[in-house]
């Protein structure tokens, strides 16, 4: 696998705890640095601060499910969904026959809307 996975920098996989306020309650969330970075990019793509993005996502999950059982796991999965979607959009940006870009990638031109 060309050391692609084994060679991940140790600081990327170390846990980082951040204090946040969700639905009026102070709490802390522990995620790996790579997930925090992805969440920061995702929040930025939504024109929100990370705190506002986390609060909005938490509130939406609460509205949809009635409870938020494991928000840290939900955040990790949200990062994966975002990256999968971004990768699919980037793949569509290249015409396999001509080797040229046909549309702009997700990260360059679009925002992922949160659930309404």
pLDDT digits 0-9 by tens, 24-65: 899 999 999 999 999 999 999 999 999 999 999 999 999 999
Asked whether the beta carbons of 111 and 53 are under 8 A apart, the reply is no
Does pLDDT of 104 surpass 80? no
pLDDT for the residue 86: 81
pLDDT digits 0-9 by tens, 75-89: 999 999 999 988 777
> Mean pLDDT highest for which of 2-6, 51-55, 91-95?
51-55
All structural domains of the chain with their residue ranges: 32-109
Using DSSP bridges, classify how beta strands 100-101 and 25-32 pair: parallel, antiparallel or unpaired: unpaired
Q: In CATH terms, is domain 32-109 a member of 1.10.3990.20?
A: yes
Tokens of 42: 């995702």
Tokens of 44: 């930025």
Tokens of 96: 């396999």
């Amino acid at each position: 696998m060309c050391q692609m996975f084994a060679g991940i920098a140790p600081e990327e996989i170390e846990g980082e705890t951040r204090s946040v306020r969700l639905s009026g309650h102070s709490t802390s969330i522990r995620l790996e640095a790579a997930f925090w970075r992805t969440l920061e990019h995702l929040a930025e793509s939504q024109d929100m601060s990370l705190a506002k993005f986390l609060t909005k996502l938490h509130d939406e999950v609460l509205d949809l499910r009635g409870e938020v059982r494991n928000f840290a796991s939900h955040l990790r999965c949200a990062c994966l969904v975002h990256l999968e979607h971004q990768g699919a959009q980037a793949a569509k940006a290249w015409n396999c026959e001509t080797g040229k870009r046909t549309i702009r990638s997700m990260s360059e031109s679009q925002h992922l809307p949160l659930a309404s």
